[in-house]
């Protein structure tokens, strides 16, 4: 099966964690090294953009019986990848805006406000994906897949796990425009917690899938 949601999940999780970390540093007036963050965002953004664009346009899973996975994994990865790439470019070219200064929080909020509409829309898309996952019992692993396949008789279990991650990601994304306006407070804390939990889960789940997906291929050869 031509799928690579392993590296996509890994990078999406790392990307969410980096966004939370940078936001925390800005809100708490910690020093920021823009070039380092530009490299981090750029690396993850390039991988997510390339894999997400291919999955979005080519639909490699359409002939494998999982055409909906091209939408579920490809399009959010593409959107997140583009956002990370532009954040990387901005930090590289205009990093002085976030490196220091009493008004950097206000400056970052003003600069990120237009793109926050797309982040909000991606949050709504995450809610829709989660609802589809529950309604159609998606994400269930086949019995031939190691570890995850042990729960093949309980498809709602993995559907609930993955859908919950999309809900958490969606909550953070929907709150993002309001976090920019308030520059802190309860909404920033909620968004940060949601993205931290989802980021860790996507990161660890993607790493685990390097074993489970290899095992699935071996078991079905």
Find, among 103, 52, 98, the residue nearest to 76 by Cα: 52
Whether residue 99 is predicted with pLDDT greater than 80 in this model: the reply is no
Confidence at residue 184, expressed as pLDDT on a 0 to 100 scale = 82
Query: Rounded to whole angstroms, how far apart are CA atoms 82 and 69?
Result: 20
Between 96 and 19, name the one with better pLDDT. 19
Give the per-residue pLDDT at 2: 60
Distance CA 107, CA 123 (A): 24
Is residue 63 predicted with pLDDT exceeding 80? no
| Residue 19 pLDDT level (bands cut at 50, 70, 90) | very high
Are 45 and 15 within 8 A, CB to CB?
A: yes
pTM of the model: 0.93
pLDDT tens digits for range 199-210: 999 999 999 999
Q: Which position has the higher pLDDT, 65 or 216?
A: 216
Reported as a single tens digit per residue, the pLDDT across 103-145 is 777 778 888 899 999 999 999 999 999 999 999 999 888 888 8
Can you list the positions of beta strands (E) in the chain?
A: none
pLDDT at 118: 97
pLDDT of residue 134: 95
> What confidence tens digit (pLDDT) does each residue in 145-187 have?
899 888 888 888 988 999 999 999 999 999 999 999 988 889 9
pLDDT at 61: 86
- pLDDT tens readout for residues 32-52: 899 999 999 999 999 999 999
């Amino acid at each position: 099966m031509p799928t690579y949601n392993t590296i996509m999940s890994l990078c999406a999780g790392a990307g969410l964690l980096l966004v939370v970390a940078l936001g925390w540093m800005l809100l708490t007036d910690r020093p920021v090294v823009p070039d380092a963050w530009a490299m981090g965002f750029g690396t993850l953004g390039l991988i997510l953009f390339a894999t997400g664009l291919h999955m979005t346009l080519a639909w490699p899973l359409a002939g494998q019986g999982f055409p909906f996975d091209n939408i579920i994994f490809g399009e959010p990865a593409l959107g997140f990848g583009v956002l990370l790439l532009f954040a990387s470019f901005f930090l590289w070219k205009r990093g002085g805006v976030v490196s220091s200064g009493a008004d950097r929080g206000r400056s970052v909020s003003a600069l990120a406000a237009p793109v926050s509409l797309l982040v909000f829309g991606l949050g709504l898309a995450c809610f829709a994906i989660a609802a589809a996952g529950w309604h159609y019992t998606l994400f269930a692993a086949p019995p031939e897949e190691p570890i995850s396949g042990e729960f093949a008789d309980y498809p709602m279990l993995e559907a609930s796990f993955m859908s919950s991650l999309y809900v958490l990601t969606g909550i953070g994304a929907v709150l993002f425009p309001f976090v920019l306006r308030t520059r802190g407070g309860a909404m920033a804390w909620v968004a940060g917690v949601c993205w931290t939990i989802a980021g860790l889960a996507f990161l660890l789940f993607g790493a685990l899938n390097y074993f489970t997906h290899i095992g699935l291929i071996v078991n079905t050869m």
